[in-house]
């Protein structure tokens, strides 16, 4: 397979998205932080956060590194504000496809199937490194999301052979992500690498999110050296 060099940011086309429904999967061990959901603006947040911090010494750890996200980018007042904020205040030092670990990216998929596939891949990769793990069960929240009024770099015009779509090596995609974010881009639209035909988005700020609500719970069963089953276990409407 021929891997092309990463394109320069100015050569990429943009796509304007008026309103987009999408999905995300998160580990249920990370509960939503009500301090983000209980206020309407930055001033209320600052006051409530300072008050709760006096009685909850773990609050700062749960909220994450707030210095990584300007308060003007927090979409106070939306359903599921804490879900939208979390990827930007709890940034993995190991990075992700479009981040080298210095900033957060909110990853979303156009179908729930694609969101599950993306997470299942990373769970398989992580737990395969744990020696002698015979059986385990992991529970995830499925989030139904919406974002709107945003212009993104459209990477779907690039072929699947482009370096940003490498399945294991994120170097080219991270370089591009850093370049785009530095130039003021709001994020990227790209093809899913784990779910054929699906489209994903990586937002560089949560400010464009209008809703992130829980829709169901899913379990992933680890057995015989990999994830052997994925089951829907709880639905909010049931």
DSSP annotation string for 103-170 = S--EEEESSHHHHHHHHHHHHHHHHTTSTT--EEEEEEEEEEEEEEEEEEEEGGGS-TTBGGG-SS--
> Residue 97 belongs to what H/E stretch?
none
161 Cβ contact partners less than 8 Å away, ≥ 6 residues apart: 1, 2, 3, 4
In which residue are the tokens 């304007």 written? 16
pLDDT band at residue 235 under the 50/70/90 scheme: low
pLDDT of residue 173: 98
Residue 199 half-sphere exposure, CB side, CA atoms within 13 Å?
12
Q: Are the C-beta atoms of residues 133 and 221 closer than 8 Å to each other?
A: no
pLDDT digits (tens, 9 = 90+) for 72-115: 999 999 999 999 999 999 999 999 999 999 999 999 999 999 99
What percentage of the chain reaches a pLDDT higher than 70? 94
pLDDT of residue 208: 98
Q: Considering only CA atoms, which of 156, 123, 112, 105 is closest in space to residue 24?
A: 112
Q: Are the C-beta atoms of residues 84 and 212 closer than 8 Å to each other?
A: yes
Lowest mean pLDDT among 35-49, 100-114, 140-154, 209-223: 35-49
Using CA atoms, how far residue 30 sits from 27, 162, 210, in Å, is 6, 34, 21
pLDDT digits (tens, 9 = 90+) for 205-228: 999 999 999 999 999 999 988 999
Lowest mean pLDDT among 1-10, 59-68, 205-214, 221-230: 1-10
Model pTM score: 0.89
């Amino acid at each position: 397979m021929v891997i092309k060099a990463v394109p320069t940011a100015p050569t990429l086309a943009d796509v304007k998205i008026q309103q987009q429904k999408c999905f995300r999967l998160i580990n249920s061990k990370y509960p939503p932080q009500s301090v983000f959901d209980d206020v309407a603006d930055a001033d209320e947040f600052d006051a409530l956060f300072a008050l709760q911090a006096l009685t909850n010494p773990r609050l700062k750890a749960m909220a994450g590194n707030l210095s990584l996200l300007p308060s003007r980018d927090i979409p106070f007042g939306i359903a599921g504000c804490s879900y939208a904020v979390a990827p930007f205040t709890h940034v993995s030092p190991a990075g992700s496809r479009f981040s080298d670990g210095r900033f957060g990216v909110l990853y979303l998929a156009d179908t729930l199937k694609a969101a599950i596939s993306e997470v299942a891949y990373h769970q398989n990769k992580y737990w395969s490194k744990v020696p002698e793990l015979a059986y385990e069960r992991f529970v995830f929240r499925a989030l139904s999301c919406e974002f709107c009024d945003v212009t993104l770099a459209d990477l779907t015009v690039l072929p699947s052979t482009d370096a940003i779509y490498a399945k294991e090596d994120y170097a080219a995609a991270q370089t591009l992500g850093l370049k785009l974010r530095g130039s003021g881009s709001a994020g990227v639209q790209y093809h899913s690498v784990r779910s054929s035909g699906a489209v994903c988005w990586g937002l560089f700020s949560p400010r464009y999110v209008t809703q992130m609500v829980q829709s169901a719970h899913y379990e992933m069963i680890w057995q015989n050296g990999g994830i052997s089953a994925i089951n829907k276990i709880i639905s909010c409407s049931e």
